[in-house]
Structure 1
Amino acid sequence: MEARGLWLSISGCLFMAALGFGFAHWTGSAAIFLDGVFSLVSFVMSLIMLIVSKLIRRSADRRFPFGYASFEPAFNVLQSMVIVGVMLMALSSAVAALYQGGRTLDAGRATIYAAIASTGCLAVYLVLRRIAKQTGSSLIEVDSFAWMMDGVLSGVVLIAFTLVWQFGDALGDWLPFVDSWMVIAMVILMLPVPIRILYRNLLEVLLAAPPIGVQRTIRRAFRDAMHDIPGRDWSLSITKTGRSIYLHARILIDEDRYAASIEQADVWRELITERMAEFVAEQEFDVVFTTDATYIG
C-alpha cells in the first residue's frame, strides 16, 4: 500500500513538472516555473523515498545494529533542505526581477495551468491521505501534506491569474510586477512548512526525546506495566526515530529481591515488554535491573 502511494506521487510529480515547465515557457510566468521546479524536486525526492521506504523495513544487521529507522527522518531532513534552497533561489530571482522592471506573462494561459494544477494536486492529496491513514507511514503523510500545500497554492494562483486576466488593464504599469510579487507571496506562505519539517526530523536524527504528549502516554503505560514488578524506583529514556520508538528502562529492584535469579529477571523483562508491545517491539526496548540507586538518576 505504501509503495503504491509512492508510485502515485512519483507519477504525479513527473506529470506536474512537465506541465509546469511547458506552461512556464508558454506564458513566461516565473510563478509557474517555480511550481515546475518544485514538482521536479519532488519527483527526484520521491524516487529516493521509494528506496528509503524499502530500507526502513530491513532488520538490524552488523552495519546498522539498531536498524534502518533513522533513514526516514534523515531523508525528510534532506528533502526539507532542498525545498528551502529552491524557495530561497526563487525568492532572490523574484526580487531581482522587481528591480529589473518585472516580467510580462500571458494570464489567460496561466489560468488554464493553475486550474489543471490545483485540481490534480488536490486529487493526489486525497488519495495519499487515505493511504497514510491506512499504513501509518510518515513518509506518505509528509508527502500528502506537500501535495495539499501545492494544491492550495495553485488554487490561490488560479484566483490571482483569473483576476489579472479579467482586470489586467486596470493594473496599468503594475501588471509586469504581478508575477514576481506572486512568487514572493508563495515563498513567504510556504517557507514555514519545510522549516518545521526540517526542525522536527532533525531532532529525531539527533535522538532527541519525542513530543511531551508522546512521552506522557508512554510513561503512563510503563507505570501501569510496573504494577506487580518488585521495583521501588525506575527511570525511562525515550527517543523516537522515524516510525520507531526506543525505550531504555532502568529499574531499582526491592532490597528483598536482591538475590533474584537471572531467570526471574528475564520473566519480569518479558512481562514488561509484553505489556508495552503497543508502543515498541522487543528489539527497541531495553530493560535493566539494578541494585544501585545512583544508576537510576
Structure 2
Amino acid sequence: MFTSLARENMALKLSAVGAGLFAVAGIVWGLWVDSLVILFDGAYSLVSLALSLLSLYAARLVRRPATEDYPFGMGAVEPLVIAVKGLVIGLVCVLSFASAVLSMLQGGRPVQADMALVFGAVSVVGCLIVWIYLRWTSVRNGSGLVLAEQGQWLMDTVLSAAVMIGFAVAWLLERSEWSALAVYADPVMMMLISVYFMTVPVKMVLSSVRELLLAAPADEAMDEIHEAIRGLGLNPARVKVAKLGPNLLLEAKLVRM
C-alpha cells in the first residue's frame, strides 16, 4: 500500500520520465517535419523535465524536519519552486510567440502536415494518460508539487490536441483551393497556443507569491480550518491563518479570563 509520500515520489518520477521521452520525440520529429509547433512541444517537454527534477529535489527538502535554522521546516520551498516553474514556462511561451511572429513575417513555413498529424495524435494519448495519473495522485495526497506537475501536463495535452487539430486543418488546406495558406498554419497555431498558455504560468506565479507573502488560504479551505479551530475551543475570529507549502501556520490571540 503506497503512503502519501511514496505516491508523491512515484508521480514526480513518472512525470520526469514522461517529460524526457516527449522532449526527445518532439525535438526529433519537429526537426524532421520542420514544424515550429512540434519543436515548441519538444522544448516545453525538455523544460518540464528540468522542472520535474527540481520538484523531486524540492519534495525532499519540504519533508525535512524542522531545525534550529529552520524552526518551521522548509515548506516555503514548495511555493518557491512553483513560482520558478511558472516564470520559466512563461518565458518559453514568450519566446515561442516571438518565433511565430518572425516566421509569419518571413512568409510562413511549409510543414509535412500528415506526419505532424500522426505526432499530434500519439502525443495527445500519451500526455492524457500522464495527466490522468497525476490528477488521481494529487486528489489523494494534496501535494502542491504534484498539482503543479498536473498543470504542466494539462498544458502539454492541450498543446498536443491543438497540434493535431491544426495540422488536420493544414492537411485539408493543402488539398483545397486555399493551399497557399497552408504555410501559415504552423506559426498561427504557435501564436494562439502561446497566448492561451500564458494564463497558466501567470496563475502559478500569483498563487505562489500569495503563499510566500503568507496570505490567507482559499475561502473553501478556511471553512474547514475554522471548524477545526472551533473544535479546539478557540474563537476563529482571534486566529490568523496562512498556508505555506504543505504547512498551515496559525497565530492565536488568547484572552485571559
- What does residue 235 of structure 1 align with? 238
- The one-letter code matched in structure 2 to 1:125 is W
Q: Tell me how large the CA RMSD over aligned residues is.
A: 1.7
- What does residue 22 of structure 2 align with? 16
Corresponding residue to 2:139 among 133, 141, 154: 133
Q: Point out the more displaced range, 26-35 or 210-219.
A: 210-219
Corresponding residue to 2:256 among 248, 253, 266: 253
**2:218 is aligned with 1:211:** yes
Distance 1:13 1:160 in 2: 22
Contact persistence 1:234–1:251 (CA under 8 A): no
Structure 1 stretches (4+) deviating beyond 6 angstroms? none
Distance 2:157 2:208 in 1: 24
Provide, for residues 78-132 of structure 1, a one-character-per-residue CA deviation record: whole Å limited to 9, x for no partner. Answer: 0000000110011111111111111111101101110111110001111112222
- What does residue 44 of structure 1 align with? 50
CA shift at 1:165, angstroms?
A: 1.5
- The one-letter code matched in structure 2 to 1:114 is G
Distance 2:209 2:32 in 1: 40
Q: TM-score, normalised by structure 1?
A: 0.80
Contact persistence 1:49–1:139 (CA under 8 A): yes
Q: Percent identity, aligned pairs only?
A: 31
Q: Point out the more displaced range, 138-147 or 241-250.
A: 138-147
Contact persistence 2:173–2:179 (CA under 8 A): no
Unmatched segments (≥5 aa) in structure 1: 255-297
Provide, for residues 173-229 of structure 1, a one-character-per-residue CA deviation record: whole Å limited to 9, x for no partner. Answer: 2221111100011112211111111100111012122223323432343234327xx
Contact persistence 2:66–2:73 (CA under 8 A): yes
CA shift at 1:137, angstroms?
A: 1.3
CA shift at 1:133, angstroms?
A: 2.0
Contact persistence 2:48–2:152 (CA under 8 A): no
- What does residue 165 of structure 1 align with? 171
- What does residue 258 of structure 1 align with? none
Aligned length: 250
Higher relative contact order (CA 8 A, sep 6+): 2
- What does residue 151 of structure 2 align with? 145
Distance 2:241 2:174 in 1: 57
Higher strand fraction (1 or 2): 1
* Secondary structure, aligned partner of 2:68: coil
**2:203 is aligned with 1:196:** yes
Unmatched segments (≥5 aa) in structure 2: 1-6
Select the structure of larger CA radius of gyration. 1
Contact persistence 2:162–2:189 (CA under 8 A): no
- The one-letter code matched in structure 2 to 1:23 is W
| 1:176-195 paired onto structure 2 within 5 Å | 176-195=183-202
Provide, for residues 12-48 of structure 1, a one-character-per-residue CA deviation record: whole Å limited to 9, x for no partner. Answer: 0000000100111111110011111110000001111
Distance 1:120 1:36 in 2: 13
Contact persistence 2:239–2:251 (CA under 8 A): yes
CA shift at 1:238, angstroms?
A: 1.0
Distance 2:221 2:53 in 1: 31
Distance 2:119 2:233 in 1: 60
Contact persistence 1:20–1:32 (CA under 8 A): yes
